[in-house]
Amino acid sequence: MQTDLQLTFRSAPRSEALATHIRQRAGKLDHLFDRIISCHVVVEFSGHHHRHGDQYRYTIHIGLPGHEVLVTHPPAAERELKDAYVTVDRAFDEAERQLEHWAKGQREQRHDAAPLGHRPRY
């Protein structure tokens, strides 16, 4: 990443363990695509559910050359998602999918823009 990860906790107590987990997942994004300009993750407390405990909303904003990826992962009512780490993983899984989709489109554009004489033969 060209800039350090920005991590914001809104209406949520800061957890160094969760922050470390988020940094590790953001580092994996950097391995997928080395031209990431910026990454900002917002952790927001969205309330307490009597059955599922505390619920958090995650927003991941990834800056790329000429493009942005925005993932908003709202709290889910699913029982297994009450764990903040599982919810973070789901949000980053979606960010990885979007980043891979964008990178694939970039490769296809470069391939389509290559001169006819320089295209690989199959």
**Model pLDDT, residue 80:** 47
How confident is the model at residue 48, as a pLDDT?
A: 61
Burial of 103 (0-12, 13-18, 19+ CB in 10 A): middle
Does the 6-113 domain belong in CATH 3.30.160.100? yes
Map out the domains of the chain as residue ranges.
6-113
β-pairing, 67-73 vs 53-64, is antiparallel
70-82 per-position pLDDT tens digit: 998 776 555 445 5
| Per-residue pLDDT tens over the stretch 96-114 | 999 988 888 877 776 555 5
Q: Stretch 5-17: mean pLDDT, rounded?
A: 91
